[in-house]
Structure 1
Amino acid sequence: MAELTTLQYGLIALIFVWSGFVRSGLGFGGAVLSLPFLLLVHNEPLVFLPIISVQLLVFASLTIARNNRAAALNAPESHGGTVNWRYLGRILAIMIVPKIIGVLGLITLPNTIMSLIIFGIVSVYSLSYLLNRPFRSNSRTLDVVFLVLGGYISGTSLIGAPLIIAVAAQHLERHQLRDTLFALWFILVTIKMAAFIYAGVDLQLIHHTWLLPCAALGHVLGLYAHDRILKAETPIFYRVLGGVLLTISGVGLWQSLGQHLAG
């Protein structure tokens, strides 16, 4: 990570607290709801993606272990686990090839092009939040389309969650949805991290020492808020979030396009 100002470091720390909160609170969004803000602070996707990836590996595994232990203690006779491994295997079979193609694109494309792609995708997501029209799948064909696109986008930028959730939410019990998604993110991110290491991408290891505690703080807050978020009706929250993301993405697209043309 290049030399940044104290203000930039402070903003990055706050964004990672937010990232940890939404990841554990919603079960998704650690990347899609934080990466646009991070890129406005420092417009280099390959700086932040390894950091986000490691954090996801850590907190996804901890959350799954914690929830499975709690479920087994509360209902040992009927405990079937909080991860639906059979369904996870089915969607992985569809997603694995586009995921690998997306990872290869991430490694080979210039930073400015990747930023344009990320901000463009987030703009589409933000419009769905703003208009209260979340992605929904109502057929097997659309399931496959969403999973293929979600796998590819996840490979390029870790922000394929809304498309994948549009499918998974139709087929999973509510109590298994978050942890099954966490297991999926863990597998997908492991593939991405292996590609980073193979390609010699800087994993920003020194910055994990101070950003991991920031994400941990947000993660704990998100765990406490998770049940309330599940029970709450939150269309206003998502509309406000959509408006903010659309504004941020518009600014990011303008800056990235200017950098690309100048380069």
Structure 2
Amino acid sequence: MIHFEIWQYILLALIFIWTGCIGFGGAALSLPFLLLDKPLFWLPIIAWHLLFFSSITVSQRLHQVDWRFLRYTHSILIIPKMIGIFGLLNLPNNVLVIIVYCIILFYAITYIFNITRQSHNRLGDIVLLILGGYMSGTSLIGSPLIVAVYMRHVELQRLRDTLFVLWFILVSFKMSAFVVTGVDLQWEYTLLLLPFAAIGHYFGLKAHVSLIAAQGNNFKRIIGIVLALVIIIGLWSILY
């Protein structure tokens, strides 16, 4: 078990509270702060948390899940997902971190300039799902592209629960690959950081919807600027 300084534990607690507050897309906003270290150390922790909170969220709401569309999209997502996992397990650490940073920087730019990722036909849906599946395989951050497709086809009242089931399935594949290949699942740090992620989820459920509604694009723009600054610092530290 890796040991951190006290100030590092405090920083980690704040990062995982931040992740929980953001919601089920929080992995994309916490990874820039964590990938200054080895990705395969942090990804199992985030994956455990996603499995835990997604299972709790939908355990009493399975009747709200759009199973038909879920089965259809999963058949498209599974192959690029596995390709992404293979890349995660075989690419050199610095190469993987740079790829993940570039993906997150793309998201940050779309937030800053309010660029909407939408699909308008079946081919567009498939392209977004393939890209989202691959990104999900490499780093757990393919949700924005996948959500763009789901928002067009799933009823609003069923959207959140359907996506949580999808995240549970996709993350389960990644965790299975970790087990087969002998990756340390970091259960000690998972348990240590779980209460902080839970605090974030609690306050996120209370405030997230109203915050988005009140501030709209300004809120996303602030998130995008913070992300972009973190990514630039991270890329600079790796390249120079």
Under TM normalisation by the shorter chain, which class is it? over 0.9
Q: What is the Cα deviation at residue 231 of structure 1?
A: 4.1
1:97 to 73, 79, 89: 79
Please give the TM-score of this superposition, normalised by the length of structure 1: 0.87
Partner of 1:205: 187
1:150 to 132, 137, 146: 132
Aligned residues: 240
Question: Is the Cα–Cα contact under 8 Å of residues 212 and 219 in structure 2 kept in the other structure?
Answer: no
Partner of 2:34: 38
Partner of 2:25: 29
Deviations 1:78-101 (A, max 9, x none): xxx321111111100101000011
2:43 to 24, 43, 49: 49
C-alpha distance in structure 2 between counterparts of 1:173 and 1:226, whole Å = 20
C-alpha distance in structure 2 between counterparts of 1:251 and 1:179, whole Å = 36
C-alpha distance in structure 2 between counterparts of 1:227 and 1:127, whole Å = 22
Matched, 1:173 2:155: yes
Q: What is the Cα deviation at residue 180 of structure 1?
A: 0.9
C-alpha distance in structure 1 between counterparts of 2:208 and 2:158, whole Å = 14
Q: What is the Cα deviation at residue 151 of structure 1?
A: 0.3
C-alpha distance in structure 2 between counterparts of 1:206 and 1:190, whole Å = 19
C-alpha distance in structure 1 between counterparts of 2:155 and 2:54, whole Å = 19
Deviations 1:14-62 (A, max 9, x none): 1111111212xxxx3121011112224xx21111100000000010010
Q: Which runs of 5+ in 2 are unaligned?
A: none
C-alpha distance in structure 2 between counterparts of 1:221 and 1:35, whole Å = 20
Deviations 1:96-126 (A, max 9, x none): 0000111011011122111111111000000
Partner of 1:127: 109
User: Counterpart of 1:34 in 2: which secondary structure?
Assistant: helix
Matched, 1:9 2:9: yes
Deviations 1:155-179 (A, max 9, x none): 0100001111111111111111111
User: Counterpart of 1:136 in 2: which secondary structure?
Assistant: coil
Question: Is the Cα–Cα contact under 8 Å of residues 135 and 142 in structure 2 kept in the other structure?
Answer: yes
User: Counterpart of 1:32 in 2: which secondary structure?
Assistant: helix
Deviates more, 1:14-23 or 1:126-135: 14-23
Query: Based on CA coordinates, which of the two structures has the bigger radius of gyration?
Result: 1
C-alpha distance in structure 1 between counterparts of 2:119 and 2:233, whole Å = 31
Question: Is the Cα–Cα contact under 8 Å of residues 22 and 208 in structure 2 kept in the other structure?
Answer: no
Q: What is the Cα deviation at residue 227 of structure 1?
A: 4.0
Deviations 1:185-215 (A, max 9, x none): 0000000000000010011111122101111
Q: Which runs of 5+ in 1 are unaligned?
A: 70-80, 259-263
RMSD value, Cα: 1.5
User: Counterpart of 1:242 in 2: which secondary structure?
Assistant: helix
Please give the TM-score of this superposition, normalised by the length of structure 2: 0.95
C-alpha distance in structure 1 between counterparts of 2:199 and 2:175, whole Å = 24
Matched, 1:250 2:224: no
Question: Is the Cα–Cα contact under 8 Å of residues 15 and 30 in structure 2 kept in the other structure?
Answer: yes
> Which runs of at least 4 in structure 1 moved beyond 6 Å after TM superposition?
none
C-alpha distance in structure 2 between counterparts of 1:125 and 1:29, whole Å = 12
Q: What is the Cα deviation at residue 181 of structure 1?
A: 0.9
